[in-house]
Amino acid sequence: MAPKNQSFEIILGSSSMARREILAEMGYEFTIMTADVDEKEKPEDLVMALAEAKADAIMMRLKGSAELEEKLLPTLLITADTVVVYEGIIREKPSSKEEARQFIRDYSGGSAGVVGSVLVTNLVTGIRKGGWESAEVYFLDVPDEVVDSLIEDGIILNVAGGLMLEHLLTLPLIDTVVSSLSLSHKIIIAIACLIEHLLL
């Protein structure tokens, strides 16, 4: 899917393992740079605002260093965000193991909304393109042993809503995803289209 001789650079403005895997699976080479931003409001607006805030923060950091001028190839900055919505409330990263445990128990036998965004910024032209997608995820009952293992693993303490759909313990407990495509596939398609559009 990616060009054999990549004629541009990509900076992934995210610490998300899932986003790293998506770009790697697409065959792109990239570097990682993260930004600290506040994360609150309407889910669709929030994920776009956070992706933009992350891009702005990273661009300011790059402008403050000689790193951007040193780039020999056109450079694309990819930022993204995801939130989980449960019973109309946006869930942030769990603040404790107890809160993570409650989040997972809430999803057991029920559902949660996942809203994700991606924003691609051409650092040479400043042009930005992006969008958001959502899915409703329905879960089977989550056994206590799985809850305990997820908590012990610790990674769910670092993700929105304590929900990592691609986790090996979570995947078998997903009953149905209501969306035209999986969120990951939509984001892969969006990234490919945005990259192509911004390089033309």
Question: Which among 147, 172, 141, 168 is positioned nearest to 18, based on CA atoms?
Answer: 168
Catalytic one of 45, 56, 81, 175 = 81
Sign of CA dihedral 107, 149, 82, 27: negative
- Using CB atoms within 10 A of its CB, is residue 26 exposed (0-12), middle (13-18) or buried (19+)? middle
Is residue 81 annotated as part of the catalytic site, yes or no?
Answer: yes
Using alpha carbons, select from 39, 34, 68 the residue that is nearest to residue 54: 34
d(CA 85, CA 112): 6
* Residues that are catalytic: 81
